[in-house]
Amino acid sequence: MNFVLKLNEIQSKRIMTFYRDYQSTTNNQSVLFFAKTEFVSVSVYTSYKVMFQGTDSEKEYMMWCTMLGITSEETPSVKKVESKKVSSDYFLSSIGSDEVGTGDFFGPIVVCAAYIKESDIPFLKSLKIDDSKKITDDRIRVIGQQLKDKITYSMLALHNEKFNEMTKKGYNMNKLKAYLHNTAIISLTQKLGFKTPVILDQFAESKLYFSYLKSEKEVFKDIIFTTKAESKYASVAVGSIIARYAFLQYFDILSEESGYDLLKGASNKVDQLVAKIIKEKGINYLNKIAKTNFVTIDKAKALI
């Protein structure tokens, strides 16, 4: 069965960015973007209509309805996208796992799984972390250290040279994220030695997430997948903040060692900086400080 969303340009671009690692070719000239995973194919038409096809098409469709805030009489079950029911309590005692750096050309990917318990609540409330995505970098540098000193967590950083090596071996961004989250979650559960809910900020449908890990010897499976998890559960917000704190530290080191005031994200200004670095240090230097599979390099070459 096919599932279709009628979107605007901004919403469609968000979907294209989400599936860019799975982009494929198509002969249909009315299709602006086409991506295919193991369980779903996504077609974005020039009219910005988006069609989902495949075994997980309904789940993927409902996930995007939730993420984009779309409801209709035809999709009364849209809000059932979460794979399990969870307490609505923001301060639920749980492990929350989140990542940062995936949209940044420069710098590593950092994943952090963090555990919060009931006795942590007064401390967490004092930090006002209920909307972690809006916290400034300066604030992150302060409360990130406080959280690291107080909270039990497990963190992994995939540095640029290793990232580039793994992408050349066929790992796409979501497969790398799944590997990092799985490793961090297993490490933290072993530290704790007891069972507790585990919540993951959803970046892929659960079946697809576990398919990325099929070659791993140990896979943690009892996971609650939910979108925008950092705004729903403090454990995920804490994981996000600690990961951002570590990312900023690594980013500062890269800037100092490279001699450039590196920029976050991916933008025209980043393209211009990359062009400058290529001119001055050569394209191979980027392997040490950047994710070389980004189209940023092609844009920088064009500027040169």
What is the reported pLDDT for 73? 37
Instruction: Give whole-number Cα distances, 229 to 88, 98, 132, 150, 154, in Å.
Output: 11, 9, 11, 21, 18
What is the reported pLDDT for 74? 40
From 90, 87, 86, 152, select the one nearest 121 (Cα to Cα): 90
What is the reported pLDDT for 82? 37
From 27, 1, 53, select the one nearest 19 (Cα to Cα): 53
Across 41-49, average pLDDT:
92
Q: How confident is the model at residue 181 (pLDDT cuts 50, 70, 90)?
A: very high
C-alpha 8/C-alpha 68 separation (Å) is 11
For the chain, give the percent of residues with pLDDT over 70.
91
DSSP string, 233-282: -HHHHHHHHHHHHHHHHHHHHHHHHHTS---SS-SHHHHHHHHHHHHHH-
Q: Which residue has the higher pLDDT, 229 or 278?
A: 278
**Superfamily covering domain 3-80:** TATA-Binding Protein (3.30.310.10)
What is the reported pLDDT for 17? 86
What are residue 156's DSSP bridge partners? 111
C-alpha 18/C-alpha 14 separation (Å) is 6
- Summarize pLDDT for 69-128 with one digit per residue, the tens: 775 434 433 333 333 434 448 899 999 999 999 999 999 999 999 999 999 999 998 888
Phi, psi angles (nearest 5°) of residue 157? -120, 125
Q: Hey, how many other C-beta atoms are within 10 angstroms of the C-beta on 73?
A: 5
C-alpha 285/C-alpha 271 separation (Å) is 15
* pTM greater than the 0.75 cutoff: no
Q: Kindly state the DSSP code that residue 133 receives in the 8-state scheme.
A: G
Q: What is the mean pLDDT of the chain?
A: 87
| CB of 116 closer than 8 Å to CB of 96 | yes
Pick from 84-93, 149-158, 281-290, 291-300: least confident: 84-93
From 1, 230, 43, select the one nearest 132 (Cα to Cα): 230
Across 270-296, average pLDDT:
94
Place of tokens 């980027």: 286
Domain spanning 94-254: CATH 3.20.20.70 = no
What is the reported pLDDT for 77? 34
Residue intervals of the chain classified under CATH 3.30.310.10 are: 3-80
What is the reported pLDDT for 84? 40
C-alpha 33/C-alpha 12 separation (Å) is 9
| CB of 245 closer than 8 Å to CB of 141 | yes
C-alpha 248/C-alpha 245 separation (Å) is 5
- Summarize pLDDT for 215-237 with one digit per residue, the tens: 999 999 999 998 888 888 999 99
Residue type (1 letter), 56:
D
| CB of 70 closer than 8 Å to CB of 58 | no
Cα of 290 vs its chain's centroid, Å: 17
Relative to beta strand 49-53, strand 41-45 is antiparallel
Residue intervals of the chain classified under CATH 3.30.420.10 are: 94-254
C-alpha 126/C-alpha 244 separation (Å) is 19
